[in-house]
Amino acid sequence: MSTFLEVKNLHVTFPTEDGAVLASNNVSYSVALGETLAIVGESGSGKSVANLAVMGLHNPHRTQISGEAILHLPEGPIDVLSAAPETVRRLRGKAMSMIFQDPMSALHPFYTIGNQIAEAWALYNEGSKEDGIKRAVEMLDLVGIPDAAKRVHEYPHQFSGGMRQRVMIAMALVNNPSLLIADEPTTALDVTVQSQILRLLADLQKEFNMAVILITHDLGVVAEVADRVSVMYSGRIVESAAIDEIFYNSTHPYTRGLLNSIPRVDNHGKGTRLRAIPGQPPSLISVPKGCAFAARCEFISHVPGGLCIASNPDLLEKAPDHYSRCHLTGAQVIDIAAKNLAHQDNGAK
Amino acid sequence: MNKLIIRRIVATATAAAFAAGVAIGGGATPSTAATETPVTGGTLQYFTHSEQFPALDPANMYTGRDIAFFGAYIHRTLVQYRPVAGAAGSSLVPDLATNTGVPSNKAKTWTYTLRKGITWEDGSAITCADIKYGWSRAFATDVFTEGPAYALAWLDIPEGAYAGPYKKTGQDLFDKAIVCSGDTITFKLKRSVPDFNYFLTYPTTGPIKASADTGDKYDLKPLSSGPYKIQKYSINDELVMVRNDKWNKSSDPIRTPYPDKITVTFGLNEDVRDQIVLDDSKPNAISLDALQPANNIKFFSDPANADRRMNNYDPYTSYLAANVSKGHLDCLLVRKAIFFAFDTQALINLSGGVVYYGEPGDSPVKPVLGMDYAPTTGNIHDPNYKIDGNPEYAKTLLAQAKKSCPTAYNRATNKSQGVIYYRADTAGNKKAAVLVEAALAKAGIVVNTVYKPAGTYNANLTAYKKQTDILSGGWGADWANASTVIPELWGEGCCNYTQNKTTNEYKGFIRNVNKALVELDREKQAKMWHSLAQFGMDQYWYIRTVFGKSQQTWGSKIGGIYYWEPQGSFGFGQIYVKK
Amino acid sequence: MIKYVSQRLLYTVMLLLLVSLSVYFIFDLLPVDPARLVCSKQCTPALVEANRHRLGLDVPVLQQWWNFIYGLFAGRNYAEGAAALHCPAPAFGYSFSRHECVTTILAKAFPVTLSLAVLAFILWMTLGVSLGVLAARKKGSIFDKASTVFVLIGTSLPTFLTGVLVVIFIILKFNLVDPLEIGNWSNPFTDPLGWLSTFIWPAATLAFAYAATYTRFTRSNVIETMTEDFIRTARAKGLSEKIILRKHTLRAALAPLATMAGLDFAGLLGGAIITEKVFGLDGLGGISINAVTSSYDLPIIVGTTIVASAFVVVANLIVDITYAFIDPRVRHA
């Protein structure tokens, strides 16, 4: 698999009256064609911010961006962060596409969906308006909208939420992009619809051999489709690994917290109590000197000398191709977590 | 009713009808009229803030400005005032008639003979029947309600028996009261009316051609008998008059038309109107309105404008009527105390000076009425009178009142009650009220000013007059005879706000008024008015009178302009446009 | 749709009936007696009564109103005998101060008001929308700040003041129009220049105030729309900023403006009272204010009120229907 997008040392800062908000702090990740990278985190963790920067969708007057985001295009690599805005615009929709969380508001209410898809198609294709509509019908068929030839002339509000997200996907894929960034694509949808959409995304990814970045706060979603996972917390990536590593050998207390907060039916056959992570993420304006997660971390007592408060751990490879940002070693984390689980299970009895 | 204000539409202090009098100093009519040769031709323009004339139909015409205006241009009458400046302007001259009227039967019958060759704008002759028809319309009170009612009061027809030419009820009675015989027309009256012929200067007494009468709509295009005719009359837009080629100079001894065309522009914004006058941007135009007070003072204080303005006594006397009925100001000493405590100078200063305010008066009859005016004694001629108030003297009067009429005294000096003074709620009145209250307070008199809505103040005077102690009003005579003043203001006429109806003294006064009304000897009649005016002033029925003034302005290319005293307006007929 | 429209029409008629009824009751309650106001200086009680009969005020107020409604459909006669007058249906009454049927007066006044409204509408929409869009696009710039100043001045200066300022400091100062010709009616089809010279200044005066409101409204709507998700979608598609503005932002930002503009325009069709008065225009606003302030002409007041209300109510209906075409969400609701 060849790497398509490579993000390196991405910083995104929003200057505000109260101070600069460092929303994305030295973030690096990459995704290859045919691969699905899930970026996971709570809202405000910077997962959307980083990807909007890649798409060039931040207001340049109100955002400071540094770092690199290289697209490996057939005609050669290009750093979209330093490229001219017009160049990046011509990559949008064609090389990279994005779909958003709320399909209710992401489609223009005054235009038919056919019109909106055809408009995207016409940007990179020669052809009449009819050709565009024809292409839209094909795409709607592809994303599983029944009776597409008729529905292509309808308006967004005439579609259900799931159908609208299908329309969004159809629109995003109409120009065969190499990268699809899906920003919480299922969050606003019913649970049953969620998995349909995720399956659709997975199918389409195979068909088009796309690189997909799935931004989500929901590890359940990740489990279904992701190949690799990067977990973000407070603007930083705190853990990054293949999907199974994350689920079974997570080496970061925050990821562990996230895993504990989702319902799971695993092969232990035991019900475990769901636990939310206590507390709130720190402000992004005055980033603490130490570990950003320290204030909420259940493992902090295992780190001697107040190290968590004093210094921020680096993102280190704790296992092969498994990176984690914690003062504890990977083995320590796994060990402590297992003890806690046993203790909790005893308590439950 | 106070005709100055009750008239609708006349937004500014233009004149109502009144007659005759002597020239008063202070005002000045430019002397250009006498020395320059009038120019024939050109367009003469008038402009006004009003959206229309109150009336073009003679039957509804009552304001002096309009009578002067339309009388000069389109409406001829049997007699007219002489169109000259000064006192001579108040004498009568024949117009459609060959004489100014021959009275007989103790002035109960008046006879006129029509001139030869008088025509309408359609070329047809003006006949005696037209005059008669014109008079009949005044009786159609279902159609016309705004003209003078003298015809109804005087013609020898029982009250309400004749309903006018449209319904024709009682037509036979009317036909007996006005009789045509060839060119001779005879009016038969109920009582002696020695000044009947002055009434004949009113257009409502002029001719109307029955076949051209369109009732209420006649107002929009009356048929002309004068040197001009109406080409266009569009309300809130303009009136255009052009020369009437059927009019014949040989049949009209008093009119010499100069301009080819006369226009009146209606509905000008007041600021635009004033600006035109201030800038002289329309030199061949005349403002029919007075300027707004601030602009007026500005214009009149600039000597550069001396040839474009005049300032004269208007036809009005304004007054404060004391309610002398029981329980109000029924004590002469209290009324006198109020009179002497008044600070007139403060009010003069408030209005910008005596030039705009007018002068303190000594009678309801104004000097412009000529022989009917004579200075009274007492009031402003009293040695104790001071123009800026004499609170000390007022106090001595009050001290006497305390003994002789304690009830009225207590009322006037009691803080919780005071002298009730109903005023219209305007900014100017509020300023004046402060001055009045302060001046009277110096003498120990409490004034309780009650503000009433300005828009409906005049319509409610009849109701207010019974509640208030003081009511303000203004009055102008209909012609140069105090018969149109004293009976109306102090007698049984429309506008007696003194509320005095019962005392024997007052009954005697009324008997004398009614005697004066029918007195045929004009000199003797005048003397009777003098003593009646003196009587009322001695009673202090009016606790302040002012002889008002009015200001007129025009463009620099206007010639032949003068103040026509009997109408309190321009003598429109002699105005021309300079080359 | 047909059912909706007919329901609305029925409601409109009811509303207009109510409006006319309230006008009659309000004037009945006022402490002014029109019969006395147009009565001679030598007014007698008999004359006042005759006048009251002539004006049709000698019957109970409900009867007066009913006579008015009846006249609207059947025409009406005024005065009696040889002086009788007839106003054919729809008779709004007869004005004894203007000596004409009110319907005729309204018909004459309407083109004046329409001219003013149309010209003002064009001016303020052009100016307001373009300023608003520019200010929104250059938010925070000097231009945006200047537009804020314009909005403040425009919304805070009363029309009677701007009108007088325009007349005195522009028209008179530069001698642009003969002061006596201000407000003269010219037919726009036979004398377009004359028409324009009459209406451009009052229209500009009106447009000044409206444009300020529309600038503010447009600016905030555009700014708000630019933050909408569907604009981000459009950008993500790769559309150029120009197309995003024209096709996506403005369409959504200006749709609510259509409602406002329709209602404002309809309001003006009822007469711009102050502007017409200042510029001496004899439109519906001019005649109504004159009818109230000087001649107390009840039939004209009722007529102009009804016509103005009818415009607003009907415009509401039209705007609602039109909006359904602009915004598909309303159409299918």
B313-322, C154-163, C216-225: range with highest mean pLDDT = C216-225
- What pLDDT digit, counting tens, does each position of B358-393 carry? 889 999 999 888 889 999 998 999 999 999 999 999
Chain B residue closest to C174 (CA)? B281
The residue to which tokens 């054919």 are assigned: C88
Does B167 lie in the same domain as B240? yes
Structure tokens at A289: 């000197």
- Residue A259 sits in the same domain as residue A226: no
pLDDT surpassing 80 at residue C33: no
Classify each residue of B354-378 as buried b or exposed e, where b means 16 or more C-beta atoms within 10 Å of its C-beta: bbbbbbbbbbbbbbbbbbbbbebee
How far apart CA A66 and CA A331 sit, in angstroms, is 34
Same domain, A23 and A50: yes
CA dihedral B468, B469, B474, B478 (to 10 degrees): 90
A208, A233, A258: which is the final residue of a domain? A233
- DSSP output for A30-89: EEETT-EEEEE--TTSSHHHHHHHHHT-S-GGG-EEEEEEEEEETTEEEETTTS-HHHHH
In a domain, A240, yes or no: no
Q: What percent of chain C has pLDDT over 70?
A: 98
Contact residues, chain A to chain C, C-beta under 8 Å: 55, 57, 89-94, 97-98, 100, 102, 105-111, 119-120, 123-124, 155, 157-158, 168, 171-172
- Chain C residue with CA closest to B493: the answer is C42
Which C residues in the span 71-110 are in contact with B, Cβ-Cβ below 8 Å?
A: 78-85, 96-100
Q: What would be the CATH architecture of the domain defined by C103-331? A: Orthogonal Bundle (1.10)
Which domain-ending residue is among A233, A258, A277?
A233
Do residues B325 and B255 both lie within one domain? Answer: no
Same domain for A27 and A100?
Answer: yes
Mean pLDDT along residues C200-209? 92
Chain B residues whose CB is inside 8 A of the C290 CB are: 51, 236
Q: What is residue B9's predicted lDDT score, i.e. its pLDDT?
A: 27
Domain stops at, among A204, A233, A262: A233
Is the pLDDT reported for residue A275 higher than 80? no
At C85, which helix (H) or strand (E)?
strand C85-87
- Note whether B146 and B229 are same-domain residues: yes
Cα-based torsion angle of the residue sequence A281, A282, A287, A291 in order, rounded to the nearest 10 degrees: -60
Is the CB of C238 less than 8 angstroms away from the CB of A92? Answer: yes
Q: What is the pLDDT of residue A303?
A: 87
Mean pLDDT to the nearest integer, C100-114: 94
More confident residue, B28 or C244: C244
Task: Find the range with the poorest average confidence among B379-383, C10-14, C40-44.
Answer: C40-44
Kindly tell me whether chain B and chain C come into contact, counting contact as 3+ Cβ pairs under 8 Å: yes
- B62 CB neighbours in chain C (<8 A) are 40-41
Domain that holds residue B139: 51-266
Query: Does the pLDDT of residue B13 top 90, yes or no?
Result: no
Say if B104 falls within a structural domain.
yes
- Show which residues on chain C lie within 8 Å of chain A, measured between beta carbons: 228-230, 232-240, 247-248, 251-252, 255, 326-329, 332
For B255-289, the pLDDT digits (tens) are 999 999 999 999 888 888 999 999 999 999 999 99
Residue range C178-196, pLDDT digits in tens = 888 888 888 899 999 989 9
Residue B209: which CATH number?
A: 3.40.190.10
Q: Which of A155-159, C80-84, C306-310 has the highest mean pLDDT?
A: A155-159
- How far is it between the farthest Cα atoms of chain B? 76
Per-residue confidence at B90, pLDDT binned at 50, 70, 90? confident
Decide: A215 and A184 in contact? Cβ < 8 Å. Answer: yes
Burial class (CB in 10 A: 0-12, 13-18, 19+), A76: exposed
In-domain check, residue B34: no
What counts of helices (H) and strands (E) characterise chain B?
20, 21
Q: Is this structure's pTM higher than 0.90?
A: no
Q: What is the mean pLDDT of chain C?
A: 88
Please report the pLDDT score of residue B238 as a whole number. 92
Query: Do A100 and C229 lie within an 8 Å CB cutoff?
Result: yes
Q: Which domain holds residue A342?
A: 249-348
Q: Decide the pairing of beta strands A36-40 and A228-233.
A: parallel
Q: Looking at the structure, tell me whether residues A143 and A212 fall in a common domain.
A: yes
Average confidence (pLDDT) over B132-160? 92
SS3 B76: coil
* Domain presence at residue A238: no
Nearest by Cα to B260 from B246, B249, B238, B244: B244
Least confident of B494-498, B570-574, C305-309: B494-498
CB contact under 8 A, A172 and C236: yes
Domain assignment present for residue A241? The answer is no
pLDDT confidence of C148, banded at 50, 70, 90? Answer: very high
| Residue B453, in any domain of the structure | yes
With contact defined as beta carbons under 8 Å apart, do A99 and A200 qualify?
no
Measure C2 CA to nearest chain B CA, in Å: 44
What is the C-alpha separation between B433 and B430, in angstroms, rounded?
Answer: 5
This model of the complex carries an ipTM of 0.88
Please identify which residue in the block is written with the tokens 């200001």: B551
- In this structure, the answer to whether residues A215 and A283 fall within a common structural domain is no
Count of domains in chain B?
Answer: 2
Instruction: Give the DSSP H/E element, type plus range, for residue B437.
Output: helix B427-442
Compute the distance between CA of residue B282 and CA of residue B261 in angstroms, rounded to an integer: 16
CA distance B53 to B65: 10
Please give the average per-residue pLDDT across A169-190, as a whole number.
Answer: 91
Whether residues A50 and A180 share a domain: the answer is yes
The answer to whether residues A83 and A203 belong to one domain is yes
Collect all residues of chain A within an 8 Å Cβ-Cβ radius of residue C136: none
Interface test with C, best of A98, A102, A108, A178 (most C CBs within 10 A): A108
Say what the pLDDT of residue B2 is. 35
pLDDT in tens, A3-40: 999 999 999 999 888 888 999 999 999 999 999 999 99
**CB count, 10 Å around CB of C169?**
10
Q: Which residues pair with B242 in a beta bridge?
A: B229, B261
Q: Identify the residue among A121, A157, A164, A213 best suited for mutation to test binding to C, counting C beta carbons within 10 A and taking the highest.
A: A157
Higher pLDDT, residue B30 or B442:
B442
How far is CA B199 from each of CA A36, A126, B21, B153, C73, rounded to the nearest angstrom?
A: 109, 95, 16, 12, 46
Distance from CA of A182 to the nearest CA of C (A): 12
Binned at pLDDT 50, 70 and 90, residue B182 comes out as very high
* Bridge partner list, C85: C78
pLDDT-derived band at B22, boundaries 50, 70, 90: very low
Q: Which run of H or of E encompasses B188?
A: strand B184-188
Rounded-to-integer distance, Cα B82 and Cα B518, Å: 25
User: Of C34, C89, C23, whose CA–CA distance to C56 is shortest?
Assistant: C34
Looking at residue A220, what is its pLDDT?
A: 83
In sequence order, the 6+-apart residues with CB closer than 8 A to the CB of C61 are C24, C25, C28
Nearest chain C residue to A112 by CA: give it: C328
* Contacts B217 to C, Cβ<8 Å: 85, 99-100
Residue B23 scores a pLDDT above 80: no
What CATH number does the domain containing A55 carry? 3.40.50.300
pLDDT of residue B236: 87
- Does one domain contain both A139 and A283? no
Contact call for A93 and C238, based on CB within 8 A: yes
How would you write C134-156 as a 3-class SS string? HHHHCCCCHHHHHHHHHHHHHHH
Report whether pLDDT(B91) > 80: yes
My answer on whether B322 and B259 are in the same domain is no
Asked whether residue A123 falls in the same domain as residue A269, the answer is no
To the nearest whole percent, how much of chain B has pLDDT over 90?
65
Whether residue A224 is found in the same domain as residue A124: yes
Burial class (CB in 10 A: 0-12, 13-18, 19+), C295: buried
In a domain, B334, yes or no: yes
B8 has pLDDT over 50: no
> Where do the structural domains in chain C lie, given as residue ranges?
21-91, 103-331
Cα–Cα distance list, A47 to A54, A70, A233, A324 (Å): 11, 18, 9, 17
User: How far is Cα of residue A253 from the mean position of the Cα atoms in its chain?
Assistant: 20
Q: Which residues of B touch C273 (CB under 8 A)?
A: none
Q: Is residue B139 part of a domain?
A: yes
Give the pLDDT confidence score for residue A282 in this predicted structure: 84
Q: Above pLDDT 70, what percent of chain B?
A: 93
Give the pLDDT confidence score for residue C243 in this predicted structure: 93
Task: Give me the phi and psi of C230, to 5 degrees please.
Answer: -70, -20
Chains A and B lie in contact, requiring 3 or more CB pairs less than 8 Å apart: no
Give the total number of structural domains in chain A: 2
Give the mean pLDDT of C264-277: 89
- A203 in the same domain as A103: yes
| Chain pair B-C, CB pairs under 8 angstroms | 157
Same domain? For A48 and A114 the reply is yes
The predicted pLDDT at position A347 comes to 54
Same domain, B546 and B416: yes
pLDDT at A264: 61
φ, ψ (nearest 5 deg) of residue C248: -100, -50
Nearest-CA distance B467 → chain C (Å)? 17
> H-type helices in chain C, by residue range?
2-29, 34-37, 45-54, 61-74, 102-137, 142-156, 159-166, 192-226, 229-237, 241-243, 250-269, 273-278, 284-290, 298-326, 328-331
CA distance C18 to chain B (A): 27
Contact C279 B494 (CB under 8 A): no
Q: How far apart are CA C259 and CA C257, in angstroms?
A: 5
B329 and B198 in a common domain:
no
The 10s digit of each residue's pLDDT in A226-256 is 999 999 999 999 999 999 999 999 999 999 9
* Residue A349 clears pLDDT 80, i.e. is over it: no
Least confident span in B94-108, C66-80, C165-179: C165-179
Q: Do C328 and A98 touch (CB under 8 A)?
A: no
> What is the pLDDT, as a whole number, of residue C9?
83
Q: And the tokens for B2?
A: 């106070």
Highest mean pLDDT among A263-267, B170-174, B291-295, B544-548: B170-174
- What is the residue whose two structure tokens read 């003002």? C120
- Indicate the pLDDT class of residue A268, thresholds 50, 70 and 90: low
- Does the pLDDT value for residue B34 go beyond 60? no
| B260/B334 same-domain check | no
